[in-house]
A = this chain, B = another copy of it.
Amino acid sequence: MKIAVDAMGGDFAPDAIIEGVLMAAAELPENVAIVLIGKQAIMQELIKKHNAEAVANIELVNADDVIDMSEHPTKALSQKPNSSIGVGFKLLKEGKVQAFCSAGNTGAMHVGALFSIKAIEGILRPCIAGFVPQLTGGYAVMLDIGANADCKPEMLAQFGHIGSIYAQSTFNIDKPRVALMNIGSEEQKGSLVAQAAHQLLKENHRINFIGNIEGGDFFGGHADVIITDGFTGNTMFKLGESFYKVAAQRGLSDEFLDKTNYESVGGSPILGVNGNVIIAHGISSPLAIKNMIGLAIRQVESDAYTKIAQALS
């Protein structure tokens, strides 16, 4: 299994990325290698600086260009085929790597996935999933957390279906509890979109829909899969992550609060595309990159995207 990592994407790239990759490489299972994509000379120099040995499970692939965080995704991808993101998707499409991860331009990662490996047939809109730590242990999968600011009820209903398959295959949860984020527990509550989505989710007997949950239930362990539009999902997810920062600023330390830190999982998969694509925070630290690689391995092993494609075919 090969996990490709964009060495050049992220606010602290390439240093933080390479450091994280080296941390991951030290603990990789025997059948896993990391393919690091970026400017060859820079990557070599940084690997040398951090750790001259023990990099047998890291391959370097040269990419001359870099897509900046502020560049227009579609334009940048067509103008820079030799960017680290461009090369990563080429390798992923050709099956030379089983996952591609980047902390770089999120839009370019999303567009790159749609243009290369493409959306799964039957998917209305791919989305981004986030992991919300639960007080009862483990994480809930929340989707969408930002790819689709405007969602139709049918999209939300499909998020429920693919989120359920993802949670089941990647986290081994039997009959994942799927909940709709809403502003009241009763089914007639909420926006017009949420009300309609509730009915569609209720009618889908392939999922274990448990009804609405509210903002106060975010960390409460009530659901394994939390469905919402990309606007609400993004604002809530970022607010949830800020819990860690608030606690740190207040000098509080706690095992659960540590999990609200973005580093604890390190990446967010794009779901609904024909492959494993993981987006990391722009500010990703080495630890976040290491954990992102762990998530990528887990996803490749679980083969979630194939299971999603089968369910929709």
Q: Which of A172-195 contact B (CB under 8 A)?
A: 181-183, 189-192, 194
Q: Which residue of B lies closest to A220 (CB)?
A: B242
**Interface SS majority for chain A:** helix
A219 partner residues in chain B, CB cutoff 8 A: 242, 246
B216 touches A183 (CB 8 A): no
Q: Which residue of B lies closest to A106 (CB)?
A: B184
A311 partner residues in chain B, CB cutoff 8 A: none
Shortest distance between the CB of A190 and any CB in chain B (Å)? 5
Shortest distance between the CB of A241 and any CB in chain B (Å)? 6
B218 touches A242 (CB 8 A): yes
B236 touches A235 (CB 8 A): yes
0/1 interface trace, chain A 231-244, chain B, CB 8 Å (1 if under)? 11011111111110
Of the listed stretches A80-88, A156-164, A198-206, A250-258, name the one at the interface; the rest are far from the partner chain: A250-258
A254 partner residues in chain B, CB cutoff 8 A: 250, 252
Q: Does A269 contact B (CB under 8 A)?
A: no
A247 partner residues in chain B, CB cutoff 8 A: 252
Range, interface on chain A? 35 or more
Separation of A21 and B250 alpha carbons in the complex (Å): 33
A217 partner residues in chain B, CB cutoff 8 A: 242
B190 touches A149 (CB 8 A): yes
Q: Does A150 contact B (CB under 8 A)?
A: yes
CB-CB under 8 A for A230 and B183, given A238-B214, A254-B250: yes
A239 touches B238 (CB 8 A): no
Separation of A183 and B149 alpha carbons in the complex (Å): 8
Q: Does A135 contact B (CB under 8 A)?
A: yes
Give the contacting residue for A215; candidates B190, B220, B239, B250; CB below 8 A. Answer: B239
A residues sitting closer than 8 Å to B (CB atoms) are: 135, 146, 149-150, 181-183, 189-192, 194, 214-220, 228, 230-232, 234-243, 245-247, 249-250, 252, 254, 256-257
6 interchain residue pairs of minimum CB distance: A215-B238, A215-B235, A215-B239, A149-B191, A216-B238, A183-B234
Q: A146-B183, A149-B191, A183-B230 are in contact. List 11 more A-B contacts (CB 8 A).
A: A135-B249, A149-B190, A149-B194, A183-B235, A214-B234, A215-B236, A215-B238, A220-B242, A236-B236, A247-B252, A250-B254
